[in-house]
């Protein structure tokens, strides 16, 4: 998975609890992304980062926050988890931005919010 580690791989939590997912890369790539994947919707971008402490919102950012204090780590936080955030979360990295950036994906985190 292109030097990308997501943790945890599986998590079950309760509505209203905070949850943090971690993406760690060993490629020293500048760009990192968080997606969620749900049946019928494909992959949807939550947030992305174009450098340390530089982040921006994606298509479905409500209810999520991110932080990137080091090049290798990109954290996704659900401040107060809801059942609608039950999903599979993928982290992706890219060496470059721009229109020809190729993204490489981590193995994913399966999150269930009860």
Distance of CA 96 to the CA centre of its chain: 18
104 touching another protein, by CB under 8 A: yes
Site stretch for another protein (CB under 8 A), options 20-28, 48-56, 63-71, 77-85: 48-56
Preceding peptide of 93 cis, ω within 30°: no
Closest to 34 measured CA to CA, from 18, 45, 22:
45
Site stretch for another protein (CB under 8 A), options 10-18, 20-28, 34-42, 63-71: 34-42
Q: Nearest approach, Cβ of 86 to another protein (angstroms)?
A: 16
Q: From start to end of the chain, where are the E strands?
A: 4-7, 10-13, 19-25, 31-38, 42-51, 54-57, 64-70, 73-78, 87-94, 104-105, 109-113
Find the DSSP H helices in 30-84: none
Q: Nearest approach, Cβ of 15 to another protein (angstroms)?
A: 25
Q: Which is nearer to another protein, 75 or 88 (CB)?
A: 88
Q: Which is nearer to another protein, 48 or 113 (CB)?
A: 48
103 touching another protein, by CB under 8 A: yes
Q: Nearest approach, Cβ of 43 to another protein (angstroms)?
A: 4
């Amino acid at each position: 998975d292109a030097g990308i580690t997501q943790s945890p791989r599986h998590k079950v939590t309760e509505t209203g609890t905070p949850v943090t997912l971690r993406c760690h890369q060993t490629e020293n790539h500048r760009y990192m992304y968080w997606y969620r994947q749900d049946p019928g919707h494909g992959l949807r971008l939550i947030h992305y980062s174009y450098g340390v402490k530089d982040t921006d919102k994606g298509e479905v950012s409500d209810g999520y926050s991110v932080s990137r204090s080091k090049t290798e780590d990109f954290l996704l936080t659900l401040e107060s988890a809801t059942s609608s955030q039950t999903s599979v979360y993928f982290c992706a990295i890219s060496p470059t931005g721009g229109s020809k950036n190729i993204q490489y994906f981590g193995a994913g985190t399966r999150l269930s919010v009860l």
